Structure 1
């Protein structure tokens, strides 16, 4: 967890540097933490659906504590992001912000209302992970609530005035969140070689569809947002996007390599749990960089 936090912080600093002076380091870092926590929460909420009826209850129980923790981090970071955004909109420092200004921001602005939706989603997931019955109906409900929270913010950003762009970024973000989040959930909940052998093939199928949707949504969103190919290096937004494209390409290559090498070994019980966790950590580290770059992209003017 500490290593993951360092990776996210370093990647957020990189995104800020690439976009400078069109982005705020504080806003980039807070958004990166919030987005990564939301992605992990979505993955932990959804991962029991990969397992069969015989083992699902055990996986739901194992996922509940880290789900509550990640949702708690998501809740706190969303609250921080809401306060920072209200201060920036009002043109004052955070320490001089009062509750009336925050309330006005939440009620009167699209970004504020979207932040409130994400905040509510994080709160529901956190409380339900601790108190709701650990049944498949709860799993489906929490997955849906977390998904709403994940896409609430992107729909009010750069693509708020474009229905096509908004749809593209929602598909892109949700696919990325499922791909990254479910792998993080496997790392946090799966211990034995037999569990990897059972769950990894199902994750591989899910990730393949996620990558297809992610690429389609990303290409469409970039086509709507960019005026020309020169924007990819001439603007802060374009430079962050270029870095994100490069990281996504590396992730696709690594994912395909894991699909052709790690997956057959895990399915045949030839890959130990240690090997599976190590491969997951490497892929998740790259995913964390991509998510932090995406957060930087979202706050770049």
Structure 2
């Protein structure tokens, strides 16, 4: 089963990169910045971290080791994304960026500082918890990840309005909970009994989350480009359309899973391998959406 879980994680990472590549293809010639793929992986990592921290809502507990690995990936990909953004703005290769360029060339230092400090804080949580003395509640991990998600999502385009950041922040948290919690279930839940217990709890909370995700996404999109030709005549609009289409496809898949997979899981009628496969397919599709979202944030 460990190999199957690793396969799902690898497929999700590849799907993020596929989402960024798709955005570049449909948005030409105004495609995303080169840092979009690292941004996408960073978003995927912090979303998974958020899901791990929120596992208490679905009657499960995260492994400190898994939390530590994901936190390290979040911090590393955040640094890579920031480094590539500096190279883009300075106009040099990423390999030619010096420390001085990096410290002065980041457009806004807040996101990278929050992400790196957040990653280190979660690593400290994992170390302390693994010692087994006075463990700290995993919701602390979720809170740290939520701050990272919010500070990343509301900067840039979203920060140009007084109210749009609130909508975008809610949208980002809803998306992170959906894909992150499902991915956390893949990493954490064991056996038929585990899925029979946790999947219904996840499904019960998923419906309102998807409703919030849909409404806030539409509001933010209209606020950004209005209603009209901008949806088809601009690279930003075409990426947005692709993202919405894939979200609809993910919602349709989730509904099918709710009808078929959930019903069998409640009765202990589906094995762990099938549950991991079903969750992995949904996570991979949502990871493509995360790649599109990361590309959208760096497309003019």
Fold conserved (TM > 0.5)?
A: yes
User: SS state of the match for residue 23, structure 1?
Assistant: coil
Measured after TM superposition, the shift of residue 38 of structure 1 is 1.1
Q: Distance in 1 between matches of 2:95 and 2:87?
A: 9
- Aligned residues, how many? 290
Q: In the aligned structure 1, how far is the partner of 2:234 from the partner of 2:21?
A: 17
CA distance in 2, matches of 1:35, 1:228: 28
Q: Provide, for residues 100-156 of structure 1, a one-character-per-residue CA deviation record: whole Å limited to 9, x for no partner.
A: 2322245xx4x3222211222122123322334667743121110011011211111
Give the direction of change, closer, same or farther, for the CA distance of 1:95–1:275 in structure 2 (3 Å limit). closer
Residue of 31, 34, 37 corresponding to 2:39: 31
Runs of 4+ in 1 over 3 A off after TM superposition: 132-137
How much does 1:25 deviate? 5.6
The 1-side partners of 2:196 and 2:123 are apart by 30
| TM-fit CA distance, 1:284 | 0.9
The equivalent of 1:207 in structure 2 is 206
Q: CA deviation at 1:173?
A: 0.5
Structure scoring higher RCO (CA < 8 A, sep ≥ 6) equals: 2
- The answer on 1:122 being equivalent to 2:119 is yes
Gaps of 5+ in 1: none
8 Å CA contact 2:125, 2:136 repeated in 1 = no
Provide the secondary structure at the position in 1 that maps to 2:258.
Answer: helix
Structure 1-normalised TM-score?
0.90
Distance in 2, Cα, partners of 1:231 & 1:157:
19
The equivalent of 1:68 in structure 2 is: 68
C-alpha separation in 1, matches of 2:12 and 2:99: 33
Deviation by residue 1:260-300 (Cα, 9 ceiling, x = unmatched): 22112111111221221111111111111111111111111
Residue in structure 2 matched with residue 8 of structure 1 by the alignment:
16
CA distance in 2, matches of 1:256, 1:264: 12
TM-score, length-scaled by structure 2 = 0.91
**Unpaired runs of at least 5, structure 2:** 1-8
Separation of aligned partners in 2, 1:254 and 1:136: 37
Tell me which moved more, 169-178 or 117-126: 117-126
Q: Which moved more, 1:171-180 or 1:203-212?
A: 203-212
